[in-house]
Structure 1
Amino acid sequence: MLPTLPITGLDIAPEELRTELIRAANWVADYLQAVPAGPVTRPRALDERRWLASSPLRDEGRPHTEFTDFIDREVAPFPCGNGHPAFFGWINSPPAPTAIIAELLSVTINASCGMGEHASMDLERGAVRALAELAGLPHGAGGVLTSGGSTANLLCLAAARSWYLASIDAEDGERYDAAHALLVCYQSADTHMSVGKSARTIGLPASRLRSIPLTDDRRLDAGALRTAVERDLAAGLLPFCVVSTTGSTATGAIDPIAEITAVCRDYGLWHHVDGAFGGLGAAHPALAPHYAGIADVDSLTVDPHKTLNVPIGCGAALVTDPERLRGAFSLRASYLDGNDAWPWLSDYTIELTRPAGRAFTVWAVLHQLGREGVTALLDGYLRHTALLRELIEAHPDLELVADGPWSITCFRYRTPGRGDAITTAIADRLRDRGRAFLATVDIDGELALRASICNYRTSEADIRTLVAEVLAIGAELCG
């Protein structure tokens, strides 16, 4: 019998591993402490980026002790920016320290939250249940954690299609082909681009994803939706789903959930809510009235890596009746012996092998905060948003353009006749200076600066710095 030999090249002696982990932990703590004092972003020369992207794999290996130094030298100094408290661009929050610890523990255990009977999968079930409750969904709602809002929207649209085709007895064969060719989905003009990607992925042509006009407060017009559905029904088409939004990416607007659900119920449509940014707003008393009717929707997307400060990427596909997700995605193989009494989570999604880190980080942050802490976190976002809007409205050179209920603010530097060029230049120069970061967004055909607030480390001083920087850059450009 041949001797059993270990696979070489990967193992590290226990004491050496402990030393490297302590070194890495010290690096993490130092990095987090230094972020607020550094630039929000630091652009890197294109030739240096090409070097990193194309560096060859050597024949001989490297010492594992080099990796932390390599990241510290070649990656960490050139961040995306979302860890900085003055980053107000794309809607990605930084990871809370508890979530960083949870992520390390999860990759050490390295369980797949797709198959088997183990505690990591139960942790995900608990995290999903807590998210559903905070979002205002009814008892019994459930779902799965995902890589982000895009995947969550895809899962929910696929479930909506499966449910609808089953309801008209067109699940397969020629009836499926005929019915699928007639399907129509509806969204607002401000719906996130991932909904269009999801519709394309499940086979809907662009012409069958209808964009419904907005009201003056940039919410989906429920009356126009009803008219569009009736028009398509009269044309022999098959409306099957409406996608509304709570906390739109453009302006933070919240669509009229109850009114849209009423249209869906009248015509037998699935109501999906893209709440990637604003899905947990029902947990805050000031926002809760905007979420009237949320318990009656069919599905909801939530992104913990936005409002809850867990690591990228983490979303959630939540469904009032989880069996509808299972009906869309459950397939069995002889080499995977699941439990019908408590189905595997892979039965509810397109993934089989699924990282447990999502469950660990969401569970850790939610249980560190508790219900009161979640409300306080959201309250901080809203207070900083109110201050930003006050500062904008108080200065004659700034114009508030859109101010939805959520923590997104759109504004412009007043420059008659030079709007888009100045707006773009301000955003670019602000990024290059490194003291703050804004995105731009099209509002009714004209660009505006857009500030989103979802960072637990953002302070009043960061808000004031942002406004001061915009005013200084605007004066430089227009002086």
Structure 2
Amino acid sequence: MTHHLRAQDPEQFDETFLPSVPTPPAAHPKVLRDELVAAAEWVSRYLSDLPTGPVNRPMPAEHRARLRAGRLGREPGDLGGVLEFVRDKIAPYPTGNGHPAFFAWINSPPAPAGVIAELLACTINATCGMGENALMDLERGTVRMLASLAGLPQGTGGVLTSGGSMANLLALATARTWFLTRRGSGDGAAYDRDHARLTVYYSAQAHMSVAKAASCIGLPAHRLRPVATDASDRMDLAALRAAITADLDAGLLPFCTVSTLGTTATGAVDPLEPITEVCRSAGMWHHADGAWGGLGATVPALAPLYRGVGGLDSMTVDPHKTLSVPVGCGALLVSDPEHLHTAFAHQASYLVADEADGADAAPWLSHATIELTRPGTRALALWATLHHLGRDGVAGMLTQQLALAAELRERIVAEPRLDLLAGGPWPVACFRIADPRCVAPDALHTHVARRVQENGRAYLATVTVRGRTVLRACVCNYRTTSEELDLLVREVLHAADADGRPGPAVKGQRSNGR
């Protein structure tokens, strides 16, 4: 029997109360091997069977309550219970992004290489924040691979992050430090004076994480400038110039513009080179949120939209979106990585680089981000996925998704009961149900999306485009085929019919929504 420690006099320690047999987390090598084999077999079956199952299943309220309760038993459990728990309690209720008929958000499925790499990286369990180890150097290398794919210049550096939100936060914090340091107001009263006048600019179509990041670095809402977009949902350059000029005239300090490469709603790409010119003329930092579309320069069909990408100061990329790396792998790429060190490097006596690291040692990655403890899973999963794809595979996967989205938009245009409102160049389609009799079209589309989700055969969501609630479908799964596109259209029409609306539309009565 295992004995448990109990409270003792502070001056005494009775060794008889130490455990007499090994306790978790240790495990016999054979037990560990058997459980790993069983888990691997289940993973293989799960991924293989995904396309034949439902996209999403509603979770019973009582099951949700049990998961939330968080009750921990007193006695140790056996390792076999982990796989059993995942198989029976977690896997049946996914977000749905592993399924090829999932079109709701930009959440890709995990690529096989990333699944294997995450297990291996967890086994090594090195931190990529402090100390020198192979996974930290691998992260530096994978960052350079991403920079090359994105079309950024030699010497670009950066860090892997938990996702685009963290990358955008780091970018704005870096831009702020760069701007204030150049003005000689990096600290003291000058800092307080100038920080209170900083303004940031971004497309009205920008991801909400940009405004959240600005708030996190201390910018109030009245100094955030969402800039109007044009008919193609791209940032309007005249509006950007006017906003900057007005703020300068008011004594404010424009310090950063954030462009978007692949807007969440419609997949639009802001004009990079002209925005950079505006930033240079005003002494501002230009950050591009390319969480979705940061690697567009690798795709021949998109490359013209990325002219001037090498002139960016920083870029966000999300490998767990376009590359299908397991969730938790974003990246911030910075043309001059020294700006990251200026913004985030802090010293502590218990964190001093070892002289044994040699003359080729680089600054620890914790000096380029706010994280000290950083998982090596990001670097290895990204490297493994890139290794498995190669540069041509990256371009090929993105090209396939663009082609499928174009095909979906063609299907929508050809269907008399649907209206295409927006979409592209990134793989997304925003559309509405054509029904001139409907008195509450926004509510109708919300209801149809929910009904499609509940039916479980396909999954899409809604978004607001030009003041109207529309159905939105994006393609970001390498397993999606034309069959899933047909299925999606059928499910949308079926859901509309099940609601008693809209019924067959008469050609000529359609509204094109533009």
Q: Same fold (TM over 0.5)?
A: yes
1:204-240 CA-to-partner distances (Å, cap 9, x unmatched) read 0011110110011000011110111011000000000
1:336-357 CA-to-partner distances (Å, cap 9, x unmatched) read 1127951111110000010000
**Partner residue in 2 for 1:110:** 125
CA distance in 2, matches of 1:6, 1:387: 63
Instruction: Please state whether the residue corresponding to 2:460 is helix, strand or coil.
Output: strand
Identity of aligned residues (%): 55
CA distance in 2, matches of 1:91, 1:119: 31
1:212-270 CA-to-partner distances (Å, cap 9, x unmatched) read 10011000011110111011000000000001100000100000001110100000000
1:45-96 CA-to-partner distances (Å, cap 9, x unmatched) read 2232011110411122222211111111111101110100100111110111
Within the alignment, does 1:431 sit opposite 2:453 as a pair? yes
Instruction: Please state whether the residue corresponding to 1:87 is helix, strand or coil.
Output: coil
**Partner residue in 2 for 1:451:** 473
**Partner residue in 2 for 1:57:** 72
Matched AA of 1:404? G
CA distance in 2, matches of 1:249, 1:68: 35
Shift of 1:182: 0.3
**TM-score normalised over the length of structure 2:** 0.91
**TM-score normalised over the length of structure 1:** 0.98
1:66-465 equivalences under 5 Å are 66-338=81-353, 341-416=361-436, 417-465=439-487
**Partner residue in 2 for 1:470:** 492
1:352-380 CA-to-partner distances (Å, cap 9, x unmatched) read 01000000011011111111111100011
CA distance in 2, matches of 1:259, 1:338: 42
1:394-424 CA-to-partner distances (Å, cap 9, x unmatched) read 0111111112210111111112333111111
Contact kept, 8 Å, 1:90 with 1:439, in 2: the verdict is yes
1:2-31 CA-to-partner distances (Å, cap 9, x unmatched) read 999986221111111111100000010111
Matched AA of 2:370? I
Q: Which stretch of structure 1 is more off in the superposition, 391-400 or 61-70?
A: 61-70
1:178-224 CA-to-partner distances (Å, cap 9, x unmatched) read 00000000011110000111000000001111011001100001111
Matched AA of 1:250? A
Matched AA of 1:411? F
Contact kept, 8 Å, 1:88 with 1:453, in 2: the verdict is yes
CA distance in 2, matches of 1:131, 1:148: 14
Matched AA of 1:139? Q
Shift of 1:445: 1.1
CA distance in 1, matches of 2:471, 2:228: 22
Contact kept, 8 Å, 1:415 with 1:422, in 2: the verdict is no
CA distance in 2, matches of 1:259, 1:16: 61
CA distance in 2, matches of 1:427, 1:201: 33
Instruction: Please state whether the residue corresponding to 1:475 is helix, strand or coil.
Output: helix
CA distance in 2, matches of 1:335, 1:9: 30
Instruction: Please state whether the residue corresponding to 1:114 is helix, strand or coil.
Output: coil
Matched AA of 1:180? H
Shift of 1:105: 0.2
Matched AA of 1:425? H
**Partner residue in 1 for 2:4:** none
Matched AA of 1:251? T
Q: Which stretch of structure 1 is more off in the superposition, 304-313 or 38-47?
A: 38-47
Q: Structure 1: any 5+ residue segments left out of the alignment?
A: none
Matched AA of 1:403? G
CA distance in 2, matches of 1:235, 1:96: 51
**Partner residue in 2 for 1:15:** 30
Task: State which of 50, 54, 62 in structure 2 corresponds to 1:35.
Answer: 50
CA distance in 1, matches of 2:63, 2:122: 31
Q: Which stretch of structure 1 is more off in the superposition, 408-417 or 84-93?
A: 408-417
Q: Structure 2: any 5+ residue segments left out of the alignment?
A: 1-14, 504-514
CA distance in 2, matches of 1:315, 1:375: 19
Aligned length: 478
CA distance in 2, matches of 1:404, 1:380: 14
Q: Which stretch of structure 1 is more off in the superposition, 56-65 or 308-317?
A: 56-65
1:139-174 CA-to-partner distances (Å, cap 9, x unmatched) read 100100000000000000000000000010000010
Q: Which has the larger radius of gyration?
A: 2
Shift of 1:42: 0.2
Matched AA of 1:364? A
1:115-156 CA-to-partner distances (Å, cap 9, x unmatched) read 111111111111100000000111100100000000000000
CA distance in 2, matches of 1:421, 1:70: 38
CA distance in 1, matches of 2:353, 2:339: 18
CA distance in 1, matches of 2:236, 2:306: 16
CA distance in 1, matches of 2:70, 2:199: 47
Contact kept, 8 Å, 1:165 with 1:171, in 2: the verdict is yes
CA distance in 2, matches of 1:13, 1:403: 55
Instruction: Please state whether the residue corresponding to 1:318 is helix, strand or coil.
Output: strand
1:265-300 CA-to-partner distances (Å, cap 9, x unmatched) read 000000000000000111100011111111001000
